[in-house]
Amino acid sequence: MCMLEQRGFKFYFLTMQDYQTHSVLGKVIEKHQLHMIKLDGHNSMYDYSATNKLLDDDNFHPSLQAHEKISKIVYEKLKEIL
């Protein structure tokens, strides 16, 4: 159990990249999988943005349009959960 859970906090998260196979972060994500917000089945903001052709000019960061869509998905998921 993590400190947030021990103190009774509800928490949810999403990541910029898919870190599930990362040697350290992957273990943390696996442990808290129920708290991870997926974006229409995508494990990261990058995957969601790349799949939907919504990356910024640097071809890595989500564009403004992607951030708008991501914020709406997160908002709807939080409404369901909380």
Residue extents of the structural domains in the chain: 3-81
Indicate the SS3 state at residue 62: strand
What pLDDT is stored for residue 68 in this prediction? 98
Helices (H), the chain: 3-6, 25-31, 45-51, 64-81
| Confidence at residue 59, expressed as pLDDT on a 0 to 100 scale | 97
Q: Report mean pLDDT in 10-residue bins for the chain, 82 residues.
A: 89 93 90 93 96 97 98 96 86
Model pTM score: 0.86
Phi and psi at 61, nearest 5°, equal -80, 145
Distance CA 74, CA 28 (A): 21
